[in-house]
């Protein structure tokens, strides 16, 4: 999936730069238009990471983005990989790219209301707790998150499933936010449930995570876990199945969000 992500990103950058695939500098860098097509389609090639950097330079991509695309390319066939947090902020955000192209998003949260479902008031209250943010920073982050939310509220064929712990609701909900969650659950393409305290500790749900499925059967499902200073990605089928099984078991204990009361 990393190579498909990189290929997609390079294709977008190439078109934004107004360069055809047959441009002499591109062909000189990769060897042929056929190889370039394979690269942009995420298929296997013998290209090395300096070639990725050359293309980034040709397209006028920022240095931070170039660095991260090259770093991800060098990981090769690894099925477990990481992305330092600062690279997703200042460079290439792999998770957002993956999420936007997923056909199904399954998310478990134990502490926070998922960003997809937050009200503007909730966002501002959350960002205001960060001592490094000033008013302009908060405004920028709120606008960015609201823009990021829009595709997930549009019924474009993507399914979204959210499972929240009751703790997340108790910590982060006011009446407006709870109404927003209920509204999301009423959408045909969204499901929002919660795990009540009365059901006890959910089996094997140790950390929040996101499981992404994709429309192309050749693309593996991916599990995303947010650590303190990095993002973790698991593509190995056994790892993904472990998370899926835990989520399925927890779902049997979950209740509809409309049953929750503050």
Average pLDDT over residues 180-208: 92
| Same-domain pairing of 69 and 112 | no
Q: Is residue 12 part of a domain?
A: yes
Which residues make beta-bridge pairs with 215?
Answer: none
| Same-domain pairing of 11 and 123 | no
Could you give the CA distance from residue 135 to residue 128 in angstroms, rounded to a whole number?
8
Most confident of 68-72, 90-94, 160-164, 235-239: 160-164
Which residues make beta-bridge pairs with 81?
Answer: 233
**Residue-number span of the structural domain to which 7 is assigned:** 2-75
| Same-domain pairing of 126 and 163 | yes
Q: Taking CA 158 as the corner, what is the angle to CA 36 and CA 259, rounded to the nearest 5 degrees?
A: 155
Please identify which residue in the block is written with the tokens 């209740």.
255
Of 44, 75, 106, which residue constitutes the final position of a domain?
75
Average pLDDT, the chain: 91
| Same-domain pairing of 218 and 252 | yes
Query: CATH number of the domain that 31 lies in?
Result: 1.10.260.40
Average pLDDT over residues 92-97: 79
Average pLDDT over residues 192-197: 96
| Same-domain pairing of 227 and 174 | yes
Q: What is the pLDDT of residue 87?
A: 60
| Same-domain pairing of 12 and 124 | no
| Same-domain pairing of 44 and 135 | no
Q: Is the dihedral of CA 83, 85, 88, 94 positive or negative?
A: positive
Q: Is residue 144 part of a domain?
A: yes
Neighbours of 188 (CB within 10 A): 7
Q: What is the pLDDT of residue 211?
A: 97
Instruction: Annotate the chain with three-state secondary structure.
Output: CHHHHHHHHHHHHHHHCCCCCCCHHHHHHHCCHHHHHHHHCCCCCCCCHHHHHHHHHHCCCCHHHHHHHHHHHHCCCCCEEEEEHHHHHHCCCHHHHHHHCCCEEEEEECCCCCHHHCCHHHHHHHHCCCCCCCHHHHHHHHHHHHHHHHHHHCCCCCEEEEEEEHHHHHHHCCHHHHHHHHHHHHCCCEEEEEECHHHCCCCCCCCCEEEEECCCCCCCCEEEEECCCEEEEECCHHHHHHHHHHHHHHHCCCEEHHHCCC
| Same-domain pairing of 7 and 101 | no
| Same-domain pairing of 11 and 112 | no
Query: Is 0.95 surpassed by the pTM of this model?
Result: no
| Same-domain pairing of 40 and 163 | no
pLDDT for residue 96 is more than 80: yes
pLDDT for residue 91 is more than 70: no
| Same-domain pairing of 18 and 121 | no
pLDDT for residue 90 is more than 60: no
pLDDT tens for 7-64 read: 989 999 999 999 999 999 999 999 999 999 999 998 888 899 899 999 999 999 999 8
Query: CATH number of the domain that 194 lies in?
Result: 3.30.870
Question: How many distinct structural domains can be found in the chain?
Answer: 2
17 vs 75, higher pLDDT: 17
Question: In Å, what is the CA distance from 157 to each residue of 103, 153, 189, 190?
Answer: 7, 11, 7, 11
pLDDT tens for 209-250 read: 999 999 888 788 999 998 888 889 999 999 999 999 999 999
| Same-domain pairing of 55 and 112 | no
Would you place residue 109 in the very low, low, confident or very high pLDDT band (cuts 50, 70, 90)? very high
From 127, 80, 95, select the one nearest 235 (Cα to Cα).
80
């Amino acid at each position: 999936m990393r190579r498909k992500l990189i290929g997609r990103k390079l294709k977008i950058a190439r078109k934004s730069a107004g360069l055809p695939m047959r441009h002499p500098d591109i062909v000189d860098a990769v060897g042929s238009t056929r190889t370039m097509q394979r690269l942009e389609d995420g298929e296997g090639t013998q290209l090395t990471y300096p070639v990725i950097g050359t293309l980034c330079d040709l397209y006028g991509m920022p240095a931070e983005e170039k660095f991260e695309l090259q770093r991800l390319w060098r990981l090769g066939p690894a099925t477990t990989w990481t992305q330092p947090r600062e690279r997703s902020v200042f460079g290439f955000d792999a998770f957002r790219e993956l999420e936007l192209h997923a056909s199904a998003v399954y998310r478990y949260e134990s502490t926070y209301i998922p960003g997809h479902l937050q009200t503007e008031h909730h966002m501002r209250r959350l960002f205001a707790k960060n001592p490094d943010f000033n008013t302009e920073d908060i405004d920028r982050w709120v606008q960015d998150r609201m823009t990021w939310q829009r595709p997930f509220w549009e019924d474009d064929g993507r399914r979204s499933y959210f499972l929240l712990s009751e703790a997340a609701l108790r910590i982060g909900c006011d009446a407006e936010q709870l109404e927003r969650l209920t509204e999301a659950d009423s959408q045909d393409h969204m499901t929002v449930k919660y795990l009540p305290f009365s059901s006890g500790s959910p089996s094997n749900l140790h950390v929040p995570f996101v499981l992404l499925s994709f429309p192309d059967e050749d693309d593996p499902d991916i599990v995303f876990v947010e650590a303190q200073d990095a993002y973790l990605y698991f593509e190995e089928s056994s790892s993904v199945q472990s998370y899926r099984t835990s989520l399925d078991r927890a779902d049997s204990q979950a209740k509809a969000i409309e049953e929750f009361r503050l």
